[in-house]
Structure 1
Amino acid sequence: MISYFSELRYKEVIDIHTGKRLGYVCDAEFDETEGRLISLITPGKAKFFGLFGREDDYILPWKCIVRIGGDIILVETEADQPRRRRKKEKIFDKMAKNY
């Protein structure tokens, strides 16, 4: 089965141990030197309708992915699953890097 990243974004991620819905894939990490996918990232839960930001994102290493189906991605997470805050890059920082 061949999939594109654009298709992964529409698949819901579910933990097989708890049945918890972790959301939809929002990003992925790639190793440029080896040309392989390292992990999928799903956004953290919104706090109070998103007015107070979000919880940290879930980082799902490739070894945690059990199956990629037609509509969902089944993962096997650990209790101490790594999470991190999404880096927000300001527009002026982006422009300064280009010059």
Structure 2
Amino acid sequence: MLKVSDLRLREVINVVDGRRLGPIKDIDIDVENGTIRALVLNPEGGRMFRMFGRQEDIVIPWENINKIGIDVILVELEQIAYNYE
């Protein structure tokens, strides 16, 4: 069984283009069903680029996660969904 803290240590890679998407910032959990709905990521570049403008979070629905490995999480995203906060 994986802990949320273990997930946050893994890199998230998009298998469509091989791009690193950034570290996991948050996890959207459905508390009624006890399932994960989505991963919320800080885009690559993190805080440094936030100084120069607003950087939106990347939201990855659970259905788009292909594989959770020891070091990486592989996701399949044709188009990246952004969360405008």
User: What is the TM-score of this pair, normalised by structure 1?
Assistant: 0.75
Structure 1 CA distance for aligned equivalents of residues 24 and 46 of structure 2? 19
Which structure has more strand as a fraction of its residues? 2
Percent identity reads 35
Distance in 1 (CA, whole Å) between partners of 2:66 and 2:19 is 15
Pick which of 22-31 and 44-53 moved more: 44-53
Aligned to 1:84: 83
- Which structure exhibits the higher relative contact order, with contacts defined as CA atoms closer than 8 Å and separated by 6 or more residues? 2
- Larger-Rg structure: 1
Structure 1 segments of 4+ aligned residues over 6 angstroms from their partners: none
Structure 1, unaligned runs of 5 or more: 87-99
Provide the rounded CA distance (Å) in 1 between the counterparts of 2:36 and 2:27: 7
Match status 1:25 vs 2:24:
yes
RMSD across aligned positions (CA): 2.0
After TM superposition, list the pairs within 5 Å mapping 1:14-53 onto structure 2.
14-46=13-45, 49-50=48-49, 51-53=51-53
